[in-house]
Amino acid sequence: MIKATMAHTPRKRFGQNFLHDQGVIQRIVTAVNPQADQHLVEIGPGEAAITRLLVKECRHLDVIEIDRDLAPLVADTCGNPDNLTVHNADALKFDFCSLATSGKLRVVGNLPYNISTPLLFHLLEQADCVADLHVMLQKEVVERIAAPHGNKSYGRLSVAIQTRCRVQPLFTIGPGAFRPPPKIDSAVVRLVPDADKIAAIKDPVLFNRVLVSAFSMRRKTLRNALKKVADATTLESCGIDPSLRAEQIPVEAFVSLANCLATKTNTDTTENE
Ligand code: SAM
């Protein structure tokens, strides 16, 4: 590690908790299992703890780091390899597909906790360009992503991710692996975007509207929570019992409901023409 990096004071506003436990770093790299012909992208390399290992095992590694003090140090820390490109940029605004000129990307990141959910949605919008993601998140967020219906952690995030990806929680990491240690446990999850699942959602905007409404009042029945989207009769005609609550509805049923409502909306529009 070079001296300038050692002197870096972690910035809270960028969610900087740097990994220092070599066992954990190796475990993440083993889970990713990078191959010599693959193109990887790392979000938030920080002091290059994971970067240094990834770059040795792949064809090309692009890294996206928002901190303009850290970004210039990443390449030096890795020994300036030819297959590393550093982007001093905001991953939330980054066009990942612009990098996918010769095949899909494998995305890796110990994600800044303060932006992890919007970042996941930003990545999923570009899922066509992504082969898989290995991300470290708050353990509680990984539990929400993976939760089945009926579980207390099941919510909008579970449905939004499970309808687009295969979800595989991998392992948990305690605060001691980081500098400074966060107050919470972290976990690594593998997400594999599934083109068939994504294509099954006919109207993504309507689907999102259904999820937002259904889970914004999760203690209420769907009859009440979805009032602005569909009335009870329409819900019933789409095969949904309006007396149930959102947390009781399986992931696939949300897709069928939104698709059914999309068909009805289209029919209504056609009839009005
Ligand atoms: N990968 C390093 C590690 O495991 O030690 C650092 C992880 S630290 C939790 C998160 C990193 O993401 C920091 O380096 C931080 O500066 C960077 N970061 C925060 N917000 C970002 C953003 N919007 N775009 C790109 N990088 C960001």
Same-domain pairing of 188 and 209? no
Mutate to test the pocket of ligand 1, among 22, 50, 64, 67 (most ligand atoms within 8 A of CB): 67
Is the C-beta atom of 66 inside 6 A of ligand 1? yes
> At which of 163, 194, 225 does a domain end?
194
Is the C-beta atom of 74 inside 6 A of ligand 1? no
Same-domain pairing of 244 and 109? no
Q: What is the pLDDT of residue 2?
A: 45
Q: What is the pLDDT of residue 72?
A: 94
Could you tell me which residues come within 8 angstroms of residue 137 by beta carbon, excluding any fewer than 6 positions away? 111, 113, 116, 145, 186, 187, 189
The answer to whether the CB of 154 falls within 8 A of the CB of 145 is no
pLDDT tens digits, residue range 176-185?
999 999 999 9
Mutate to test the pocket of ligand 1, among 1, 24, 41, 43 (most ligand atoms within 8 A of CB): 43
pLDDT at 272 over 60: no
Inter-residue long-range contacts of 226-233, CB under 8 Å, 24+ positions, other chains counted: 229/261, 230/261, 230/264
In the reported structure, the alpha carbon of residue 237 is separated from the centroid of ligand 1 by a whole-number distance in angstroms of 47
Based on DSSP, count helices (H) and strands (E) in the chain, helices before strands: 12, 9
CATH for 161: 3.40.50.150
> At which of 194, 228, 248 does a domain end?
194
In a domain, 154, yes or no: yes
pLDDT tens digits, residue range 153-167?
999 999 999 999 999
Tell whether 110 is in a known binding site.
yes
Domain count, the chain: 2
In the reported structure, the alpha carbon of residue 103 is separated from the centroid of ligand 1 by a whole-number distance in angstroms of 25
In a domain, 4, yes or no: no
Structural domain containing residue 242: 204-272
Same-domain pairing of 211 and 141? no
The encoded tokens of residue 268 equal 């209504």
Alpha-carbon distance values, 6 to 2, 3, 44, 188, 256 (Å): 7, 5, 17, 25, 53
Side-chain-side CA neighbours of 71 within 13 Å: the count stands at 16
Same-domain pairing of 30 and 148? yes
Tell whether 21 is in a known binding site.
no
Q: What is the pLDDT of residue 268?
A: 59
Same-domain pairing of 149 and 33? yes
In a domain, 3, yes or no: no
pLDDT tens digits, residue range 104-144?
999 999 999 989 999 999 999 999 999 999 999 999 999 99
Same-domain pairing of 134 and 236? no
Q: How confident is the model at residue 220 (pLDDT cuts 50, 70, 90)?
A: very high
pLDDT at 5 over 90: no
pLDDT at 95 over 90: yes
In a domain, 2, yes or no: no
Residue bearing the bigger pLDDT, 268 or 211: 211
CATH for 234: 1.10.8.100
Q: How confident is the model at residue 1 (pLDDT cuts 50, 70, 90)?
A: very low
Q: What is the pLDDT of residue 265?
A: 73
In a domain, 1, yes or no: no
In a domain, 26, yes or no: yes
Same-domain pairing of 187 and 240? no
Same-domain pairing of 149 and 224? no
Is the C-beta atom of 158 inside 6 A of ligand 1? no
User: Whole-number mean pLDDT of the chain?
Assistant: 94
Q: What is the pLDDT of residue 264?
A: 85
Q: What is the pLDDT of residue 271?
A: 52
